[in-house]
Chains A and B, each alone.
Chain A
Amino acid sequence: MKIAQGMKIISKGWVQKPKGYRVKYCDHDMTINYSPDLDNAPLDSDVTAWRYAWKLYKSTKSDQDTVQEDELVNITVVDTEGNDINYYVTGTPKIYNKKE
């Protein structure tokens, strides 16, 4: 096998680079939304996406058990295919303001 063929196998089999990232969240009626929305270009950095998700959580969180009108819940980061992205700090999935 030539090196070029080997490199193709590596790039196909090891890492599938996400094309971009979106913050996925639910509003008070538990409708799933994305930011940036699906019509706009996604973010190109997962670090930026996670920071954005955290800021949304800090700005809208409430101490109530029930979901408030302006509250955003189940905030997480997904790729352009909608797959959950592991939080780069811990290497595990993370959801801000998880509520049912």
Chain B
Amino acid sequence: METQVEKLQRIGLLMKNHGLQLILALLILIIGILLLKWLLKQIRSGLEKFIKDANTVSIIVNSIGVLSMAAIIVAAAEQIGLKQGTGPLILFLMVVCLIAIGVIVIFRPLIPTLPFKVGNTVKAGNILGRVEATTLLNTRMRTFDGKTFFVPNRTILNDIVINYHFTKTRKIMINVVVRYDQDLLEAKRAMEAVMIEDARVNEKPSPVVFTLNLDPNGVELGARCWVDNKKFWQTKCDITEKIKYEFDKQGIVIAHPQLDIYQHNVQKDLENYSSDLEDEQMAVD
């Protein structure tokens, strides 16, 4: 039975005889993986300029990654003295790589993936926030009021997800109710001018103002325009503020909830009614 001391002696001997090769092999492996990661990142960003389909880019990059990883493993194996059996080893690794690439190409579209990436702003599992990280089990999301949520991926995959980064542009919708006695056309012009003059508002589709409703309190106007997704929130707030000031400048009054009350004097009506009755009675007599 081998004692602990003998085991340590054996390891010490192994390190003495092959330590340098082992360290070099380890270095080749670590540096190789780091370089490969960097290289794949560069290749991915380069390919994304020419190929629009993200899945195709992923397949190409993953295939290159698998082949390169095999080359790194072979180089590391050679370093620790596997030169004698390198031929069959390379053959074995190549077969494994080809199988791996085949699996990636065929099954990747079928593998369920989360419909967002880290950094996207999404609404998932009834939570609106920025995706900070995704793991096999859950997704870490940070809401805009600073809370961190761990949402199970199962919940996300079973629920409706809104990804606000999926499209480049987003529609701003601002509804304002103006009083009935205000100049409707002037109000519409003021709102449209505010949107047109803002540098962040897209020219196409052009900004437009609709008369949406004849509310009990006033006429509801709807301003609609399109902006880049990243600028949505700030632009919406700015335009809302500018519309308020533009209305103030032009003397257009925003409607507040109001109710017209008519006072009905019952006593007086009764008196009038009774006097009418008396008159009729006298006329009959």
Contact = CB atoms under 8 A, between A and B. Distances in A.
Interface string A1-38: 00000010001001101111000000000000000000
Given A7-B206, A48-B234, A15 B249 contact: no
Interface in B199-218: 199-200, 203, 206
A45 interface: yes
Given A20-B199, A88-B242, A90-B249, A45 B206 contact: no
B interface: dominant SS: helix
B276 interface: no
A50 to B, nearest CB: 10
B197 A17 contact: yes
B225 to A, nearest CB: 12
26 contacts: A7-B206, A11-B203, A14-B196, A15-B197, A17-B196, A17-B197, A17-B198, A17-B199, A19-B199, A20-B199, A44-B199, A44-B200, A44-B231, A45-B234, A45-B235, A45-B238, A46-B238, A47-B237, A47-B238, A47-B241, A47-B242, A48-B234, A48-B238, A88-B242, A90-B249, A91-B249
Given A14-B196, A19-B199, A47-B237, 20 more contacts: A7-B206, A11-B203, A15-B193, A15-B197, A17-B196, A17-B197, A17-B198, A17-B199, A18-B199, A44-B199, A44-B200, A44-B231, A45-B200, A45-B238, A46-B238, A47-B238, A47-B242, A48-B234, A88-B245, A90-B249
